[in-house]
Structure 1
Amino acid sequence: MTTTTAAATDAAKNPFTLVYAGAIAKNEAGKVNIHPVTYPLNGLDIAANVYTPANYDPQQPYPAIVVAHPNGGVKEQVAGLYAQRLAEQGFVTITADAAYQGGSGGLPRSTDKPQFRVEDIHGMADFITRFAGVDPQRLGLLGICGGGGYALSAAKSDKRFKSIATLSMFNSGRVRRNGFADSQMATVQQRLQQASDARATQAAGGNILYAGDADMSDAQIAALPFEMYRQGYEYYWRTHAHPNSTFKYTSSSLLDLMRWDATDQIALLEQPLLMVAGTAADSLYMTEEAFAKASGAKHKELFKIEGATHIETYWVPKYVDAAMGKLTPFYNKTL
């Protein structure tokens, strides 16, 4: 597909608006099933999908895994793919749209604050540990891209999570503060002032200002300086577009994002930790830094998928298979 419209139309063809390859199109007895659910969290309605394994029996105890989606993503994209693949391996899984984003409630739309994203993960744990058939003592966590950074943060204090894995982890605070690959260090104070001004305008009842959103041409995408962003725009705006997915976030969110870091107090994380990233990912430095700082993890492993870029771990079959080849035994062992 070459246009956002074509990809979004493809989403409409799936009854659950899933946009990944091999997505469930209908629930069938004896197979992995998907269950759209809505639950309250801090006064907002959260939209989520629960996946149950083949021949699911609510009278039997199952391990469960919470899956946190990337920045700008929604549950119908890569988070849904991995949730479905893990359900195929016998886990009950849940992935929810972040509050203020996707199909979940909250105003202003596209507010993207770390404390909300971390609370979303706690909220998914609240819901899935009370889901029929789930053993609350066997709860795992998978965070993808920005969801990986927020998963690290959530698991530091939430010991309901018995193990944690990240895929192509993205430290949202560091990047919003320093720029990708620390390329905007010289403008930190200027950008903080802009975020402060945006909050002042919003508080005074003025227009809500947004950052990060752009309807780029193919040529503009190709000219972006970092491969993650080039491939990211292709993924989110072309091949795997979803009408609820956007890079947009309120400029005032930067007040919270720029003072936050996924590695703050990371030594509190003592659960088994698996971090997966591609050797060709220009975001790899974030996974390597967090892994080195996670000194409290009892057992930790850094697995690099040879030749994979950041975005390719989202959808390229051989790289997804490689990630699943580590995730499945990791959760089987730790849950």
Structure 2
Amino acid sequence: MPITSITRRNLGLAVGATAVLLSAGENTMALTLTERTQPVPEKVSFESGDGFVVANLYLPEGHDPSRRYPAVAVGGSLTSVKEQMGGNYAGELARRGIIALAIDYRNYGESSGAMRQFEDQASKAEDLSAALRYLKKRSEVAGTGILGICTSGGTALYTAAKDPNVGALATVAGFFSDPELVSKMFGGKEGIDSRIAASREARKRYDDEGVIQTVFAYMPNDKTAVSSGPNEYYMDHSRGGSVRAWRNEFAVMAWEPWLAFDPLAQAPHVTAPALVVHSDGAAFPDQARKMYGLLAGPKESHWTEGKHYDFYDQAETVRQAADRVASHFHSKLG
């Protein structure tokens, strides 16, 4: 398994500062949305766990502090940063009269964390809760909710299952894993056991030496990567691959918690009004249907058209999804 390594001493406090500089230079193309085509956000930060989260705050046009608005925290795909699909949707929600906060989870982007590129759903769920607490403190906020895109659709269920500040929930092209799907994706018991062994060995090396071993998060035809499909959004330097604050890396020590990612187990505990936006062309549509059936509260399903990555940045697909999501949040949080 090809592995690269970085050390904590090479990261330090410089991570946040350099990410600001590296986020410049994204390209745009016709009919493709990027975070840089959205309204200009305000950069904010707030405490979460033992560190802090950095986020881009998008306010509706003509924002009036004396009015009341729905407010939504937005999270994106595995390893993504706020300048990718999270920023696209946050900007589109702001255009539709919603205060929206696109976040960098801890250990990613500009947020804190020494264990860079480490996937941990407990930490991520707490970051979404911290984002809701930040939004709730604002005087113009009427109610708070979460929008999860791809992996964050699953992560949002972890938060919504426990946090009463989730007044409403929406997912777009969500990834809703469970043990059966994990087994199919990663070669059954043998594949899972080998990754867990590698995870524990990498964690020991991190604890002993401060070294973070990584593999590609996305790489076509690379079986050591987390995803070895075409991954055109990330491979295209006019799309997600153009966001230089994003790193195509996955910490090897994160295999064990990543393989345990089970949002379907959380769904029966989610009572907040939920909207599920998905398509047969998006990732694992049967998992989305299964998750929808398990939700315990009021729910709506918007089954539409589009390939998975269309929901990240293709203008028409994103805007249609944002219309539906905004309507949901206005009705439930307004």
**How does the TM-score come out when normalised to structure 1?**
0.81
Conserved 8 A contact 2:24-2:244? no
Alpha-carbon RMSD: 3.0
1:153 is paired with a residue whose SS is helix
- SS at structure 1 position matched to 2:232: helix
User: How far does residue 274 in structure 1 lie from its aligned partner after superposition?
Assistant: 0.8
Please point out which of 164, 171, 177 is paired with 2:169.
Answer: 164
Q: Determine the structure 1 residue equivalent to 2:18.
A: none
Tell me which moved more, 200-209 or 244-253: 200-209
Structure 2 counterparts to residues 219-298 of structure 1, below 5 A: 229-235=230-236, 238-240=238-240, 241-294=242-295, 296-297=296-297
How far is the alpha carbon of 1:175 from its aligned partner? Answer: 9.0
- After superposition, where does 1:67-106 map in structure 2 within 5 Å? 67-106=74-113
Check conservation: 1:113, 1:253, Cα contact below 8 A.
yes
Name the counterpart of 1:153.
158
- Aligned residue for 1:327? 325
The structural deviation recorded for 1:156 is 0.9
**1:44 Cα deviation after fit:** 1.7
The answer to whether the Cα contact below 8 Å between 2:195 and 2:256 also exists between their aligned partners in 1 is no
Query: In the TM superposition, what is the alpha-carbon distance from 1:333 to its structure 2 partner?
Result: 1.5
In the other structure, the counterpart of 1:17 is: none
**C-alpha distance in 1 between matches for 2:88 and 2:179:** 27
Once the two structures are superposed, residues 270-300 of structure 1 have per-residue CA deviations (whole angstroms, 9 ceiling, x without a partner) of: 1111111122124323312211222x12x21
| Partner Cα distance (2:34, 2:78) in 1 | 23
Residue 210 of structure 1 aligns with which residue?
A: 214
Over the matched positions of the two proteins, sequence identity in percent amounts to 22
Q: Is the 8 A contact 1:228 1:311 kept in 2?
A: no
1:26-55 Cα distance to aligned partner (Å, 9 max, x none) = 9xxxxx552111222223232111111111
Q: Any residues of structure 2 matched to 1:37-56 within 5 Å, and which? A: 37-56=44-63
How far the C-alpha of 1:24 sits from its partner, in A, is 5.4
Give the counterpart letter for 1:204 in structure 2: D
Does the C-alpha gap of structure 1 residues 37 and 189 become closer, same or farther in structure 2, counting only changes over 3 Å? same
1:304, distance to aligned residue in structure 2 (A): 1.8
Distance 1:96 1:264 in 2: 25
Q: Distance in 1 between matches of 2:214 and 2:113?
A: 16
**Is 1:313 matched with 2:304?**
no
Distance in 2 of aligned mates of 1:10 and 1:109: 16
C-alpha displacement at 1:242, in angstroms?
1.2
The runs of 5 or more residues in structure 2 that have no matched partner are 1-20, 27-31
C-alpha contact 1:86 1:328 (8 A) present in aligned 2: yes
1:34 to 1:245, Cα distance in 2 relative to 1, 3 A: same
2:301 corresponds to which residue?
302
Are the counterparts in 1 of residues 93 and 100 from structure 2 also a CA contact under 8 Å?
yes
Q: Are the structure 2 counterparts of residues 69 and 324 from structure 1 closer, same or farther at C-alpha, using a change threshold of 3 Å? A: same
Q: CA deviation at 1:13?
A: 4.5
Give the stretch that moved more between structures: 49-58 or 186-195.
Answer: 186-195
Letter in 1 for 2:324: K
Q: Counterpart of 1:199?
A: 203
Shift of 1:78: 0.9
Q: Secondary structure at the match of 1:303?
A: strand
Aligned residue for 1:61? Answer: 68
Query: Is the contact made by 1:227 and 1:282 (CA closer than 8 Å) also made in structure 2?
Result: no
Native 8 Å contact 1:174 1:261 kept in 2: yes
Instruction: Map Cα deviations across residues 201-241 of structure 1 (whole Å, 9 max, x no partner).
Output: 22222632223346x6xx859xx9x8964324335x55232
CA distance in 1, matches of 2:85, 2:24: 17
Please name the residue that 2:144 is paired with: 139
CA displacement 1:148-202 (0-9 Å, x = unmatched):
100011011112111101011113665994353x654542222211212222222
> Matched residue of 1:208: which SS?
strand
Paired residues of 1:24 and 1:34 also in contact (CA < 8 A): no
Partners of 2:213 and 2:140 lie apart in 1 by 44
Higher RCO, 1 vs 2 (CA within 8 Å, ≥6 residues apart): 2
Task: Give the letter aligned to residue 280 of structure 2.
Answer: T
Cα deviation 1:100-148 (Å, max 9, x = unaligned): 110111102112111111111011111111124222xx11210011111
Unpaired runs of at least 5, structure 1: 1-8, 15-19, 27-31
Mapped partners of 1:319, 1:108: distance in 2: 35
- Answer yes or no: is the 8 Å Cα contact 1:66–1:125 preserved in 2: yes
Contact 2:176 2:262 in 1 (8 A): yes
Task: Tell me the TM-score normalised to structure 2 length.
Answer: 0.82
Distance 1:204 1:173 in 2: 32
